[in-house]
A and B are shown apart, each in its own frame.
Chain A
Amino acid sequence: MKKRGIGIGVSFYGTGYGNGFPDISRAKARLLPGGRIGIYCGVTEVGQGAKTAMIQIGAEILGLTEKDIDLIHEDTSLMPDSGTAAATRQTYNTGNAIKIACENLRSKLFEKAKVELGLNSTAGLVLDSGEVVLSIFPQKRISFKSLSEIYKDEIIEAEGEFVAQTTTMDPETGQGAPYWPYTFNACAVEVEVDTNTGIVNLLRATFAQDAGRAVNPHLLEGQMDGGFAMALGYALFEDLKLEKGVIKNNRFSKYLIPTAMDMIDVEKIIIEDPEMTAPYGAKGIGEPVIIPIAPAILNAIYNAIGIRITELPVTPENLMKAIREAGVNK
């Protein structure tokens, strides 16, 4: 018999290392020949889109397009340490470091422009499409390219460092506020459970993710789809079958991960509630996008057939075993 059910899962997740642990990101921004800007930081692209998002943050501050910026990363001989691509911390922590570095570089560019334009002060200077412009008299302007030619024998660069604020929990009571910031999300799914085969079929899903500010909404949606698919595998398919320390499902014909045919179109909702300490309000979402999916699926299974599953994955055979044990199926 096929039975349908709906389930909801919610999560909040503390990003960064937390609990008072030193969590530092560093970045450098430099004026390059031809007026391009180089951003040097230790951000690692692991498919999450850091490469794009970090450039976007720098471009926003320097009044440039993404094409005008070179990101120099993933080579520790060329860049300062930005910490690990872990703990959902790069957008927030390294994003902040880049923001500070680019703001510092902007100040240096203003100082050079002041000299070259013969001004009294840097007050009223703004950046616009690769030029430093005096906002009250826009004829007074000089391009990054001209500055790079004038100062070709000098390195114009600035550093940025962001130290995350976290406090230690009370070791006795476990009380305190160990993380900052937190990321929130919620997912609802509808499933159809075949009580004869144990196959759980996803019918639809809605997934809302708080990002503080979506630096790149398309990438964020990609992260949400990816997190959903990964959690779907974790909830319903992926089973190492460990027997006495030996992995029995040691090939992909046995260790099943969801295919494109198993994935569904997820209705995605991006919540933007800017975080005051974040670069433009943006928080990390990398790990959180996986968390609420399996609980939502398990709750939906419970709603459909009245059985609480407490062990993952819910493979057809495992579900049939649970149904037999619950005595639902005669």
Chain B
Amino acid sequence: MDIKKVYMGRSVEEVVRLLGEYENKAKVIAGGTDIVIALRNKVIEPELLIDISKVEELKGIKEDEEYITIGSITTFTEIVESEIFQSNLYGLHKACKMVGSPQIRNKGTIGGNIANGSPAADSVPPLMALDSIVTLLSIEGTREISLEDYYYDSIKENELLVNVKFKKPKDNQVLTFAKLGLRKALAISRLTLSSFIEFDDNIITSIRVASGALAKFPMREKEVEDYLLGKSLNEETIEGAIEALRNSMDERLKGRPTLPYKRIAISTILREILEEALVFEKGVKAW
């Protein structure tokens, strides 16, 4: 079926109304870096496209007392260029900078990265490590869901992903990220990891670790979190964390042809995120 109409959405209210009206006949397009490929390959065949790339309310990064909120059509480039992600939130900057190529980063959006649902979405593990909340809007109302739970109850046909938000980090908290791609640009992630760690006098007092491309969708790595909580980072605990992650991968990816490679390669990536956190903790800028 060919696309019959393209609406250029002007407001969230209008887009939500159109989605309510057309439901499964409509698809939302923002940067188009994923959906255009899906359309060409006829993976999806909507009658109607709703272009949200000009909806001002969905743009930009906002900060208040408690939260940092990223509008869904904020591009990877805008995140990379934002001052907010230069210090202890550097992990998100790094993840967005490793997406595709400059052209893709200029068009691709953070909301699209989440809504597309790829297990290899680069921006999702850091957002999940930040315990982000996704806001979805439909004619039925507003739905807020944690990014961790989102993949079990993802976007519905009548919903618009409005923003993703997370609590502002404290000075003793740091977000890190590492990616294994098979070349230096335009590489789909083979595996990604992100950690959000709170240190108190060398000791990890709070930790969230999220992975990409290690399951059907990005997910929290609770075994690693449990292992590292209450410990300090050193050679022994880093090795222990690698072992913990390998154990849970062995169980989860049993029989997968990619497992023998990924279970070895994971050590470089996990080491990278933990060592970056350690450098931060020691007060030296890793970047």
Contacts and interface: CB of A to CB of B under 8 A. Distances in A.
B182 A315 contact: yes
Interface centre among A253, A316, A324 (most CB of B within 10 A): A316
Counting contact residues on chain B (CB < 8 A from A), the size range is 10 to 19
A305 to B, nearest CB: 14
A324 B263 CA distance: 12
Interface in B85-102: 101
Interface residues of A, number: 20
Contacts, number: 48
B184 A196 contact: no
B265 A196 contact: yes
B183 A253 contact: no
B256 to A, nearest CB: 13
Contacts of A259: 101, 183-186
A255 to B, nearest CB: 11
Nearest to B190: A316
B261 A198 contact: yes
Interface in A159-218: 194, 196-199
Nearest to B269: A197
Interface string A22-52: 0000000000000000000000000000000
Contacts of A260: 185
Contacts of A315: 182
Contact of B185 (A196, A261, A317): A261
Nearest to B260: A324
Contacts of A199: 180, 182
B211 to A, nearest CB: 15
Nearest to B268: A196
**A-side interface mostly:** loop
Contacts of B267: 196
A316 B265 contact: yes
A269 interface: no
A60 B144 CA distance: 75
B13 to A, nearest CB: 37
A320 interface: yes
A13 interface: no
Contacts of A256: 182-183, 187
A54 to B, nearest CB: 36
B275 to A, nearest CB: 13
Contacts of A262: 183-185
B264 interface: yes
Interface in B243-265: 258, 260-261, 264-265
Interface in A305-330: 315-317, 320-321, 324, 329
Nearest to B266: A196
Contacts of A258: 183
Interface of A: 194, 196-199, 237, 253, 256, 258-262, 315-317, 320-321, 324, 329
Enumerate the 4 nearest inter-chain pairs by beta-carbon distance, A residue then B residue, closest first.
Answer: A261-B184, A261-B185, A196-B268, A259-B185
Interface of B: 101, 180, 182-188, 190, 258, 260-261, 264-265, 267-269
Given A256-B183, A321-B261, 8 more contacts: A198-B261, A258-B183, A259-B185, A261-B183, A261-B184, A262-B185, A315-B182, A320-B264
